Amino acid sequence: MSASLFIKRASLLLLLPLFYLSSVVLAQESLPFVEEAPPTKKIERSLENIKAGEKIYQKRCLPCHGVKGSSDGPAAVYLDPRPRDFTRGIFKIKTTLLDAPPTDEDHFRIVTRGIPGTAMPSWKTLLSEDERWQVIFYEQQTFFPEDRKDPSKRPAPIVIGAEPPMTPESIKKGDDLFHGKAGCFVCHGNGGKGDGPIATTMRDIWGNPQLPRNFTKSWQFKGGRDPKDIYTRMTTGIFASGMPSFATQLTDAERWDIAHFVRSIQKELKPVQSDIKPKKISGTISLDPNDPLWNSVDYADIPMSGQVTVPPRLQTPQIDLMTVKAVYNSKEVAFLLVWDDRRANTTHAEPPPPPVPGTEGYTTYPVLYPSENRPTGYRDAVAVQMAVKIPDSPELPHFVAGSQDKPVNLWYWKADLNEDPSVKTPVEMLISKGHKKPPVPTKIQNVMGKGVFKDGQWKAVLKRPLVSEDPTSITNIEPGKAIPIAFHAWDGNNGEVGTQMSISSWYFMVIEKEVPKEAYAYTLGMIILVIGLEFFVIKKVRSKKV
């Protein structure tokens, strides 16, 4: 055995426990932000390079963009937005005006960064710079219309000057323009949550539904979240999506002001670090989501994904974040759940039975095109999921709806019931024993709640007594115990119903146990004891020295 091999083996042994823990480390990996990477050099648009690009395209891009480059890949019909159709040579994220073709550098940038919030991945680490150029040349040469292939015949990009400083005055001016002359709110909404009056009626040039960006979600910007990116989008417009160009309508300075305003309303994510710890309060807990009580309570951001574990699945969820606050008093525990949703859907029609796996025409994910077939007409809803029995071993119920022997509770708030004055509470307490059967109401109904909708955002309070009157079917919330908790959400407008929903992983909720008086006494006693000991030792040492 060579020395280096020996060292490697020996250190492996030492690090063995690491392997077991590596999956835990992985679990904390980054959120999907992508950084900027301008090309360092450009290769030649030669026949060899185009040929080399074909191989890369077939392996990496074809499953989505397709053989014909017209979004005809096998995966395309399941994706929203649909992969780009290259045959018109029209891009979204670029530095040329309106429907002009992109520059090579625009093309390079988007292949490098990918498009956040869509299926288009970043190819930065997997393809070398040369390989990215090769696939770009291939795409242009093979799929672009004849008159857009030659880069020398394409229009020049816009010129972007130096960014003025982002001062409060600039932001204020941008705010006024956004809600006034520029008219951004018509599509992007008053609070910039993409919920303007015409937001849900828009279509892109391929005839598919197109939603305006929610500016508060900094991680959803397709072309970058910085003022320079926002300025660029506003200047060029996003022709393919129906987002106008403001190059002539607004002055350069005005566009920078608006860009600063849009940057200023972006939210910073605060992913929950460990547990959800409700805050203790002394008074009663109001059901009003706007009660000032909540202002002093810390929040946790819970990332949500589409439920794609069990059929029927949803891989195009609208709700990707749930902001949670929690409080408790001596009798009750309550949550304030806040999530963005462009429209309040307060009516509900029961969905048809889901397609059965294995039958003719069954697909593992819903086919989204033609988009007219997508269901709507369901209610908005949200649910808090808790294990019915607080586990006494590391084993938890499965995070998707529990199982027969490890059931979960759902505190299921429904927007249609919220509007119905005849019901006592819009929250149903349900018990779920696995995803194969729908959840059923428990005998005791003990959750109260109320939701309000404003400017593209729902806020709902859900509240119940700490003590369960029926611990066999409803969690008994005991202080000092780590209670598994997860969240579900449905956007009715997006056809979300049943297991087609947004879902979070398990977290833990902990209500702290009160510290007993003895603990303080022990501590004080110990400190006094140690101080005494110190005096004794010093005395001893000194007397020896003399």
Distance from C-alpha of 376 to C-alpha of 493, rounded to nearest angstrom: 5
**Binds 111, which of other proteins, ligand HEC, none (CB < 5 to 8 A, cut-off by type)?**
ligand HEC
Smallest distance, other proteins to C-beta of residue 305, A: 3
Distance from C-alpha of 71 to C-alpha of 62, rounded to nearest angstrom: 9
**Binds 213, which of other proteins, ligand HEC, none (CB < 5 to 8 A, cut-off by type)?**
ligand HEC
> In 247-380, which residue ranges form alpha helices assigned H by DSSP?
252-264
**Binds 46, which of ligand HEC, other proteins, none (CB < 5 to 8 A, cut-off by type)?**
none
Smallest distance, other proteins to C-beta of residue 346, A: 26
Residue recorded with tokens 């508060």:
216
Specify the residue, 258 or 368, whose C-beta has the smaller distance to other proteins.
Answer: 368
**Does residue number 188 form part of the binding site for ligand HEC (CB under 6 A)?**
yes
Specify the residue, 65 or 464, whose C-beta has the smaller distance to ligand HEC.
Answer: 65
**Binds 202, which of other proteins, ligand HEC, none (CB < 5 to 8 A, cut-off by type)?**
ligand HEC
Smallest distance, other proteins to C-beta of residue 520, A: 8
Distance from C-alpha of 50 to C-alpha of 137, rounded to nearest angstrom: 6
Site map (CB under 8 A) of other proteins, residues 285-324, x = contact: ------------------xxxx-xxxx---x----x----
Smallest distance, other proteins to C-beta of residue 277, A: 9
Distance from C-alpha of 362 to C-alpha of 366, rounded to nearest angstrom: 9
**Binds 8, which of other proteins, ligand HEC, none (CB < 5 to 8 A, cut-off by type)?**
other proteins
**Does residue number 35 form part of the binding site for other proteins (CB under 8 A)?**
no
Q: What is the amino acid identity at position 496?
A: E
Specify the residue, 156 or 527, whose C-beta has the smaller distance to ligand HEC.
Answer: 156
Determine the 3-state secondary structure of 252 from DSSP: helix
Which residues inside 361-380 make contact with other proteins, applying CB under 8 A? Answer: 362, 364-365
**Does residue number 238 form part of the binding site for ligand HEC (CB under 6 A)?**
yes
Residue recorded with tokens 């462009």:
342
Specify the residue, 222 or 459, whose C-beta has the smaller distance to ligand HEC.
Answer: 222
**Binds 162, which of other proteins, ligand HEC, none (CB < 5 to 8 A, cut-off by type)?**
none
Which residues inside 72-111 make contact with other proteins, applying CB under 8 A? Answer: 73-75, 78
Residue recorded with tokens 């150029």:
133
Distance from C-alpha of 395 to C-alpha of 171, rounded to nearest angstrom: 51
Determine the 3-state secondary structure of 275 from DSSP: strand
Smallest distance, ligand HEC to C-beta of residue 102, A: 6
Site map (CB under 6 A) of ligand HEC, residues 193-232, x = contact: ---------x-------x-xx-------xxx------x--
CB atoms within 10 A of CB 288: 14
Cα of 140 vs its chain's centroid, Å: 33
Q: Is 396 within 8 Å of 473 (Cβ atoms)?
A: no
Which residues inside 391-420 make contact with other proteins, applying CB under 8 A? Answer: 391-400, 406
Distance from C-alpha of 136 to C-alpha of 111, rounded to nearest angstrom: 8
Specify the residue, 61 or 382, whose C-beta has the smaller distance to ligand HEC.
Answer: 61
Which residues inside 304-363 make contact with ligand HEC, applying CB under 6 A? Answer: 308-309
Q: Which stretch binds ligand HEC (CB under 6 A): 234-242, 375-383, 460-468, 475-483?
A: 234-242
Distance from C-alpha of 264 to C-alpha of 275, rounded to nearest angstrom: 29
Smallest distance, ligand HEC to C-beta of residue 81, A: 4
Distance from C-alpha of 5 to C-alpha of 10, rounded to nearest angstrom: 9
Specify the residue, 349 or 533, whose C-beta has the smaller distance to other proteins.
Answer: 533
Torsion from C-alpha of 118, 119, 120, 124, nearest 10 degrees: 110
Structure tokens that stand for 299 in this block: 């929040």
Q: Is 140 within 8 Å of 50 (Cβ atoms)?
A: no
Specify the residue, 77 or 79, whose C-beta has the smaller distance to ligand HEC.
Answer: 79
Structure tokens that stand for 518 in this block: 């003895």
Near other proteins by CB under 8 A: residue from 291, 444, 526, 536: 526
Residue recorded with tokens 């819970």:
302
Q: Is 335 within 8 Å of 277 (Cβ atoms)?
A: no
> In 121-223, which residue ranges form alpha helices assigned H by DSSP?
129-143, 146-149, 168-179, 185-188
**Does residue number 128 form part of the binding site for other proteins (CB under 8 A)?**
no
Report the run of H or E that residue 324 belongs to, with start and end: strand 321-328
| Residues at the contact surface with ligand HEC, assessed by CB under 6 A | 60-61, 63-65, 75, 79, 81, 83-84, 91-94, 107, 110-111, 115, 118-120, 123, 135, 139, 182-184, 186-188, 202, 210, 212-213, 221-223, 230, 233-234, 238, 241-244, 246, 258, 262, 308-309
